[in-house]
Amino acid sequence: MSRKKILWLCSWYPGKTEPFNGDFVQRHARAAALYNDICVIHVAGDDTGKIRRTEQEINTSWGLTEHILYYKGPSSYPGKLLSHYRWFFLFKKAINHYLNKYGEPDIVHVHVPVKAGLFALWLKRKYGIPYVITEHWGIYNSIEVNNYASRSRAFKQLTRNVFKNADIFHSVSYFLAAGVNKLVLRINSHIIPNATDTDFFYYKEKENNTFRFIHVSNMVPLKNAEGILRSFQSLLVQNSNVELVIVGDTDNSIREYAMKLNLPGKTVSFRREMPYQEVAAEMQKADCLILFSNIENSPCVIGEALCCGLPVIATNVGGVPELVNETNSVLIKPKDETALTSAMQQIMTGYAAYDRKKIAEEASNKFSYSVIGRRFDEVYSRLTVHS
pLDDT tens column, 88-100:
999 999 999 999 9
Give φ, ψ of 293 to 5 degrees: -75, 150
- Contact between 160 and 169 under an 8 Å Cβ cutoff? The reply is no
Interatomic CA distance for residues 116 and 136, integer angstroms = 13
Q: Please enumerate, as own/partner, the contacts of 331-338 that have beta carbons within 8 Å and a separation of 24 or more.
A: 334/224, 334/292, 334/293, 334/294, 334/295, 335/224, 335/227, 335/294, 337/227, 337/230, 337/231, 337/234, 338/231, 338/234
Q: What percentage of the chain reaches a pLDDT higher than 70?
A: 97
Q: What DSSP state is assigned to residue 251?
A: S
pLDDT for the residue numbered 209: 86
pLDDT for the residue numbered 73: 76
Interatomic CA distance for residues 185 and 156, integer angstroms = 11
pLDDT tens track for 131-176: 999 999 999 998 888 999 999 999 999 999 999 999 999 999 999 9
Domain annotation for the chain: domains and CATH numbers: 5-195+368-386 (3.40.50.2000), 211-366 (3.40.50.2000)
pLDDT for 386 beyond 60: no
Closest CA to 323 of 343, 304, 338: 304
Four-residue CA torsion sign, 126, 130, 132, 133: positive
